[in-house]
A = this chain, B = another copy of it.
Amino acid sequence: MTDLAVAVGGTRLRGPVLAASGTFGYGTEVPLLERRALGGMVSKGIFLRPREGTPPPRIAETPSGMLNAIGLQGPGVDALIRDYAPSWAEWDFPVFVNINGESASEYGELAARLDGVPGVAGFEINISCPNVEQGGLYFGNDPRAASAVTEAVRKRTSLPVWVKLTPMVSDIAVIARAVEAAGADALCAINTFVGMSVDLNAYKPRLSFRTGGLSGPAIRPLAVHLAHQAARAVRIPVIGIGGIMRAEDALEFLVAGCAAVQVGTATFANPRAIAEVHDGIAAFLEAKGFTSLAELPRYLPRD
């Protein structure tokens, strides 16, 4: 069997395919899941306090993509620790918590509350959510704010800290270097792009939040480019995210310099997507005569 294990910023994953935040809930009610193929999961974005989220409609489909504006609906950290972490502690793959806040100190506070909770393997700092009024994206496109948040979390936990980057920047390398310097163990690239779809009967945006985050295959070439730019800018591992539907798509990110990938929207269309991507990567490596993922040639010019 081809060896697909990878080490990402300290954490050893049995495979390079993770479930992306917000597309997997808290992992407790995912249908038809084939655990063996799951390298790990990132839970739905959480805040300190419960959040209602945005009014419907929250979703609109676009060519090869979808817009979402969920608004980080969630039960808050206490409920997460009470209702979900216990089951995570039982599982044979690591669960990373996607943490969100309206200030650097809120992020730090969240990390402190979750640090040491059985079942919590690490953090994915979300400084790239386009669907919240405060925080979110704001932290993501300002290098100073981004590193402030990263430091705040770094100070409060010894667990692995991943930082999820937004594509809505003129130069992702600047942010990538800033959060690396601030102590991130890995980068996740990327979150959704801000988009809008217009309802021609109502003469207004389809989504009640007006805009939403674009995900799905439509954004893949943009995501591969940004993940590649990030990978070239830093020494820590980069986890590629965006529009991965099939193994070939994941392999584009891996060849472009990513250590692992996350799969999101694809699982809506195909509940078996993660297993198919995982198995397809193994089959590709085998066909090319590689015995492990580490042997996959990477395209990562340093300039």
Which residues of B lie under 8 Å from residue A255 when comparing CB positions?
Answer: 198, 200, 203-204
Q: How many angstroms between the C-alpha atoms of A297 and B200 in the bound complex?
A: 10
> Is the beta-carbon distance between A299 and B248 smaller than 8 angstroms?
no
Contact A62 B198 (CB under 8 A): no
Q: Is the CB of B63 within 8 A of A198?
A: no
A31 to B130, CA, bound (A): 42
Interface residues on A, range: 35 or more
Provided the pairs A170-B170, A299-B205 are in contact, do residues A251 and B200 lie with their beta carbons within 8 angstroms?
yes
Report Cα–Cα, A105/B256, bound state, in Å. Answer: 37
Q: Which residues of B contact A224 (CB under 8 A)?
A: 195-198
Q: Mark A219-257, 1 if CB is under 8 A from B, else 0.
A: 111101100100000000000000100001001100110
Tell me the residues in window 43-95 of chain A with beta carbons closer than 8 Å to chain B beta carbons: 60, 62-65, 67
A197 touches B67 (CB 8 A): no
**Bound Cα distance A284, B195 (Å):** 24
Chain B's closest residue to A227 (CB) is B196
Determine the chain B residues whose CB is within 8 A of the CB of A196 once the complex forms: 221, 224-225, 228, 256
CB <8 Å contact, A200 and B252: yes
Q: List 13 A-B contacts (CB under 8 A).
A: A63-B64, A64-B65, A170-B170, A194-B225, A195-B225, A196-B224, A197-B221, A198-B255, A200-B251, A203-B297, A204-B255, A204-B299, A217-B218
- List 9 tightest A-B contacts by C-beta distance, closest first: A195-B221, A63-B217, A218-B218, A64-B64, A196-B225, A63-B64, A198-B252, A203-B297, A141-B170
